[in-house]
Amino acid sequence: MIERALLSEFQKIVGRENVFHEETDLLSYSYDAAVLDQVLPALAMRPVSGEALGQAIRLCNENGLPLTVRGAGTNLSGGTIPNEGGVVILTTALNRIIEINEGDLFAIVEPGVVTAKFAAAVESKGLFYPPDPGSQAVSTLGGNVAENAGGLRGLRYGVTRDYVMGLEFFDPDGELVKAGARTVKCVTGYNLGGLLVGSEGTLGVFNRIILKLIPMPAAKKAMMAVFDDVLKASETVSSIIANRIVPVTLEFMDNFTIRAVEDFSHVGLPTDAAALLLIEVDGHPVQVADDAARVEELCRRMGAMEVRVAETAQERDKVWEARRAALSALSRVRPTTVLEDATVPRSKIPEMIESIEAIARKFDLKIGTFGHAGDGNLHPTILTDRRDAQEWSRVEHAIDAIFEKALELGGTLSGEHGIGIAKSRFMEKETGRGTIAYSRRIKAALDPKNILNPGKIIGG
Amino acid sequence: MYDLKELAKLVRQLENQLITCMRCGMCQAVCPVFAETGRESDVARGKLALLDALIKELFKQPDGVSDRLNHCLLCGSCGANCPSGVKVLDIFIKARAILAGYMGLSPAKRLIFRGVLSHPRSFDRLMEWGASFQGAFIKPADRLLGTSCGRFSFPLANRHFKALASVPFHNLADALDTTGKSGVKVGFFTGCVIDKIFPNIGLSVVRSLKHHEIGIFLPQNQGCCGIPALSSGDTTAFSRLVRHNLEIFSAQKLDYLVTSCATCTSTIKKLWTLMASDFSESEQSQIRTIADKTVDISQFLVDVAGAKQVSASQGNEAQTISYHDPCHLKKSLGISEQPRKLISANPAYRLKEMAEADRCCGCGGSFNLQHYEISSSIGKRKRDNIVATDCTTVATGCPACMLQISDMLSQEGDRIEVKHVIEIYADSLED
């Protein structure tokens, strides 16, 4: 419980109508999209100005209240699950696109701007903001930066980190800190932006974000390659890259996922195929035509049973409809859906896929695997029922086994979903004790009262 | 004090449906109420989490859950956009019934639903009195739109509402039981709003059916479809109304039951069946039969009766018309092409699509009465999208949407007529 006097101070700062403390509100800010236990905060608030945001943070710090910033709450690793008795700060009212600068190719936004809305606003000016996380229709840019979100275009265009030119954020005292600039080059001071990107709300709270924009590619072409063998499909991925072609997207789908998608959306997928690759190239029209022809030829040479090249926009939509339906289709198979994102160097993808299949057999679980094969970021998706304690324990063991395997192959715990609380106990295994200690010293120095999203990433 | 264990047990019957929500939060992209408030407990994911928390007995007071559940338009945008196919509306309707059954209905709702609405004859009589006396309280606001507002200050007086028709449809049109050359016979389920506020829609339906030589069964003393009662959780009044209507229509040999109210169509097809387990086995089979036969008027005329599209008049003769997709047609029943085809059957109009044609108008039945500020803020966005088309008429397929859109346009003094697609179609027919 928050004392009355403190409550009214918060109300004074952000406005009475923007402070929520009813039981129903607290409950509805107790979870995110991760399959984890919910934790109730004591208070939630929705500042409508940067000034109010800074003051609210300061007040939390003065009173030692842990605070968790929340955008759309789509986090898959529990990063937006608050601490008991803590404060949830909503960014949804800080949702202005302040500037889209067509001459200097950058944009300045507040943290609560919805990713897809921003991408559309940028596109209407003929420019391009490539990061496209799966939740982009609702996710916020602040959340994307805090998680260093990826997406389908990571292979060619990189991830959110590659588009953050500058940041303005509050430290726990509510002091404004500026990092980076509106220029392509900037070596002024520490690279604080680099530290804050992907810090999951543990080191500062964003007030404004400067994002890099690029010109919209003039043309694109999509195709679907069908394989009777997973190994052939994954070798094709390596072969495309080895031939110096970098598609914008290079997505993989295993047989389990193909069947689930076809059952659900009847888009005409070959349900007997062992694997599908969904590939899109973009760029100058001449280069796109050339790349597409080479990719098609490569797929055939590597043993694809069939390659369907989308000749019209409609056919292209159909290719991506199948990919977009993957998670929906899988999630309908069983009540609980656990979406993992262990990532390996892309040359290790065949081995990783094989291991996931073995893990599914060993723990007697349904696992559908799809994902961004081009950048090694697969999404083994475990379909289960959390209410079944016995099965759930097997799920937990399977997740551990997937992590172990990814690390063994020189990979990483998370490609794009973040560590949060779901994976923090594995951190030391991947990065070593020294790294955890170093990270904890940074955290302790920048946030001495440990109020900024405590417990995330580095535990403690 | 409530026995929360008992309530948890009741809500647990929804558990298998609740568990399918994976908390992905994609409903935030489409919920009109959430777009206004930004509050998680206003979006489907939040409400489903609250119900889940009731099962887990995480609440001290269930009142708050009931309040949040009622803070919803029941537009179904979330369910239509849900990646994991959660049957959100089914859950919400059942949860409202459980909570209302458990916590009791407010005395006012009890009186309205059980004392008035579920007795169609008394309801008709009361509304007819209302129609003769309303002039003492209201005055015209906009003659083109036919809206009124209060003569003096009373609750709701600032709205621009459509007054009760001086003569309701059931008194304008005789009871019918005809056969037509087409060999097809339909029952016409009028619905309260058309009967009492928009009788011309009813007349247009009859005229169109006659034009296509369809046999019509139009009984007097029809009841409400039950949605106002059910959405407030009153299953007693709802069941009474369903039985009343079953008695009237089930005895007839009909090929279809047509309605020109999207909400009635959706209620009969989706909610009568959803709540069927409250009925006897023979009633359940009647409900299934009726639900299967129920069709929206535009769907019937285009798909069955063969209404034909024509090209719009050339030059400046054709007026610009835009179309709003009612949630209960598009999101609930997947009907969006047929109403547009029906409009295109009238050469006097040229259809111009508005932005976000299928975004909810914000009416939501009693939501509009209880949360007018949010409702009209959602409606304002619809109004802006309509006005941006430069149309002279906006058509839709649901009289409830017509009420809301008329209010929004009238408040802004827009010179745009609001019509039902069947009125547009009937206007093109030669007698």
Enumerate chain B positions whose Cβ falls within 8 A of a Cβ in A: 16, 19-20, 22-26, 28-29, 38-41, 46, 49-50, 53, 58-61, 64-65, 67-68, 83-85
Yes or no: say if B332 and B363 are a contact pair by the CB < 8 Å rule: no
* Beta carbons of A33 and B46 less than 8 Å apart: no
* Digit-coded pLDDT (tens) for B213-263: 999 999 988 999 999 999 999 999 999 999 999 999 998 999 999 999 999
Q: How far is CA A21 from CA A221, B64, B424, in A?
A: 51, 12, 50
Q: What is the overall mean pLDDT for chain B?
A: 92
Tell me the residue type at A410: G
- CA R_g for chain B: 21
Q: For residue B418, which phi and psi values (nearest 5 degrees)?
A: -110, 120
Between chain A and chain B, the number of residue pairs with CB atoms below 8 A apart is 83
Distance from CA of B393 to the nearest CA of A (A): 30
Whether A328 sits inside 8 A of B83 (CB atoms) is yes
Residue B111 pLDDT = 86
CA-based nearest residue to A17, from B36, B381, B366, B361? B36
When the pLDDT of each residue in chain A is averaged and rounded to a whole number, the result is 95
For residue A28, the chain B residues in CB contact (below 8 A) are 39-41, 46, 49-50
Cβ(A53)–Cβ(A47) below 8 Å: yes
The candidate with the shortest Cα–Cα distance to B28, out of B82, B94, B90, is B82
Is residue A299 over pLDDT 90?
A: yes
| pTM of the model as a whole | 0.93
pLDDT for the residue B59: 85
Q: What is the pLDDT of residue B317?
A: 79
Q: Could you give the residue ranges of the DSSP H alpha helices within A373-455?
A: 389-408, 427-431, 433-446
Residues 6+ apart with CB under 8 A from B284: B276, B277
**Distances in Å between the alpha carbon of A400 and those of A147, A340, A344, A397?**
22, 11, 15, 5
DSSP structure string for A163-197: GEEEEEEE-TTS-EEEEE-SSS----S--HHHHHT
Number of neighbouring beta carbons within 10 Å of residue A410: 11
Half-sphere exposure of A394 (CA within 13 A, CB side): 17
CATH of domain B170-304: 3.40.50
pLDDT at B109 over 90: no
Within chain B, all domains assigned CATH 1.10.1060 are found at 4-103
Q: Is A324 helix (H, G, I), strand (E, B) or coil?
A: helix
Higher-scoring residue by pLDDT: B284, A342: B284
Q: In B143-197, which ranges are E strands?
A: 147-150, 161-162, 176-177, 185-189
Cβ-nearest to A331 among B22, B50, B68:
B22
Phi-psi region of A306 (alpha: psi -120 to 50; beta: other; left: phi over 0): beta
Residue A440 amino acid letter: R
pLDDT tens per residue, range B14-54: 999 999 999 999 999 999 999 999 999 999 999 999 999 99
DSSP type of residue A417:
S
**In this structure, which topology does domain B4-103 adopt according to CATH?**
Fumarate Reductase Iron-sulfur Protein; Chain B, domain 2 (1.10.1060)
**pLDDT recorded at residue B137:** 83
Task: Tell me what the mean pLDDT of segment A250-256 comes to.
Answer: 94
| DSSP state string for A188-247 | -S--HHHHHTT-TTSS-EEEEEEEE-EEPPSEEEEEEEEES-HHHHHHHHHHHHHTT---
Give the residue from B96, B427, B57, B139 showing the smallest Cα distance to B274: B96
| Owner of token pair 């059954």 | B101
Regarding predicted confidence, which is higher, B167 or A324? B167
Q: Is the pLDDT reported for residue B62 higher than 90?
A: no
**For residue B430, what are the CA distances in angstroms to B180, B210, B212, B304, B425?**
17, 11, 11, 20, 11
Question: CATH fold of B319-427, please?
Answer: Rossmann fold (3.40.50)
Exposed e or buried b for every residue in B48-77, given b needs 16+ CB within 10 A? bbbbbbbbeebbeebebbbebbbbbbbbbb
Cross-chain residue pair A28–B22, CB shorter than 8 Å:
no
Determine whether the interchain pair A28/B41 forms a contact, defined as Cβ–Cβ distance below 8 Å: yes
Q: Do B25 and A27 touch (CB under 8 A)?
A: no
Query: What is the distance between the alpha carbons of residues B255 and B217, in angstroms, rounded to a whole number?
Result: 11
The pLDDT score that the predictor gives to residue B288 is 97
Q: Name the percent of chain B lying above pLDDT 70.
A: 98
Which residue of chain A is at minimal alpha-carbon distance from B43?
Answer: A28
Interacting residues of B317 by C-beta distance below 8 A, sequence separation 6+ = B348
pLDDT (0 to 100) of residue B316:
65
The residue written with tokens 């659900």 in the block is A264
Structure tokens at A221: 């072409």
pLDDT single digits (tens) B360-375: 999 998 898 889 999 9
Of A90, A114, A337, the CB nearest to B22: A337
Using the 8-state DSSP alphabet, how is residue B334 labeled?
-
What does the pLDDT average to over A286-294?
96
pLDDT digits (tens, 9 = 90+) for A27-51: 999 999 999 999 999 999 999 999 9
Q: When comparing pLDDT for B312 and B206, which is higher?
A: B206
pLDDT the model gives residue B314 = 67
Min distance A254 CA to chain B CA atoms (Å): 19
**Tell me, what DSSP letter sits at residue A331?**
H
Q: What is the mean pLDDT of residues A210-234?
A: 95
Q: Is the pLDDT of residue B1 over 70?
A: no
Interval B400-411: pLDDT, tens: 999 999 999 999
Is A225 in contact with A279 (CB distance < 8 Å)? yes
Q: Give the pLDDT of residue B155.
A: 67
The token pair that represents B324 in the structure block: 């709003």
pLDDT tens-digit series, residues B170-207: 999 889 999 999 999 999 999 999 999 999 999 999 99
Tokens at B126, concatenated: 């009361």
Predicted confidence at residue A146, as pLDDT, reads 98
Find, among B35, B8, B21, the residue nearest to B84 by Cα: B21
**From the centroid of its chain, how far is CA B258?**
14
d(CA B419, CA B159) in angstroms, rounded, equals 19
CB B301 within 8 A of CB B307: yes
Distances (CA, A) of A180 to A164, A201, A214, B428: 9, 18, 18, 65
pLDDT at A456: 97
Using a CB-CB distance cutoff of 8 angstroms, which residues of chain A are in contact with residue B60? 23
Q: Taking 70 as the threshold, does the pLDDT of residue A11 lie above it?
A: yes
Q: What mean pLDDT is predicted for residues B63-88?
A: 93
Residue-level pLDDT at B3: 80
Question: A73 and B67 in contact by Cβ < 8 A?
Answer: no
Q: CB–CB of A169/A205 below 8 Å?
A: yes
- Residue A427 in contact with residue A458, Cβ under 8 Å? yes
Question: What tens digit of pLDDT does each residue of B346-363 get?
Answer: 999 999 999 999 999 999
Does B315 score more than 80 pLDDT? no
What is the C-alpha radius of gyration for chain A, rounded to an integer number of angstroms? 23
Read off the pLDDT of residues A91-114 as tens digits, 9 standing for 90 and up.
Answer: 999 999 999 999 999 999 999 999
> Per-residue pLDDT for B153 more than 80?
no
| Integer Cα distance of B382 and B361 in angstroms | 6
Q: How far is B64 from chain A (nearest CA, A)?
A: 6
Please list the residue range(s) of chain B that carry CATH number 3.40.50: 170-304, 319-427
What mean pLDDT is predicted for residues A390-397?
96
- Picking from A31, A328, A337, the nearest residue to B49 by CB comes out as A31
Q: Which of B25, B41, B49 sits opposite A138 (nearest CB)?
A: B25
Q: Residue A145 pLDDT > 90, yes or no?
A: yes
CA distance A91 to A336: 28
